[in-house]
Every structure is written in C-alpha cells, then in structure tokens.
C-alpha cells in the first residue's frame, strides 16, 4: 500500500486528479481535506 499527497486550490482540480488515478489503481481511502495557506491537501491510500 502507498500513500499519495495531493495539493489543490479548487475542488475541480481534486476531482480531475482522483478520476485520473482511479483509472489505473485501486483507491482504498481518501482523507478529509486539510487546509494550510492557499492550498488544500488530501491523502490517498492506494494498492
């Protein structure tokens, strides 16, 4: 299992990245969004 950190400004950016990832790997868990400064970030666990 691996963990990926994604930083984004808009929800559309987040959805686009998750959609691209889900075509190639199995996503196990997506964390709640964390905010620090200008960007938000989420953690994604993949197999």
Global pTM value: 0.78
Residue ranges in the chain modelled with pLDDT below 70: none
Q: How far apart are CA 37 and CA 44, in angstroms?
A: 20
Give the Å distances, CA to CA, from 5 to 19, 44, 45: 15, 6, 9
End-to-end CA distance of the chain, in Å? 5
To the nearest 5 percent, what fractions of the chain are helix, strand and coil?
30, 45, 25
What is the pLDDT, as a whole number, of residue 7? 94
**Long-range contacts for 28-34 (Cβ within 8 Å, ≥24 apart)?**
28/1
């Amino acid at each position: 299992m691996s963990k990926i950190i994604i930083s984004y400004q808009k929800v559309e950016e987040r959805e686009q990245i998750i959609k691209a990832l889900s075509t190639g790997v199995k996503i196990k868990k997506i964390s709640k969004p964390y905010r620090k400064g200008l960007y938000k970030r989420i953690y994604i666990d993949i197999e």
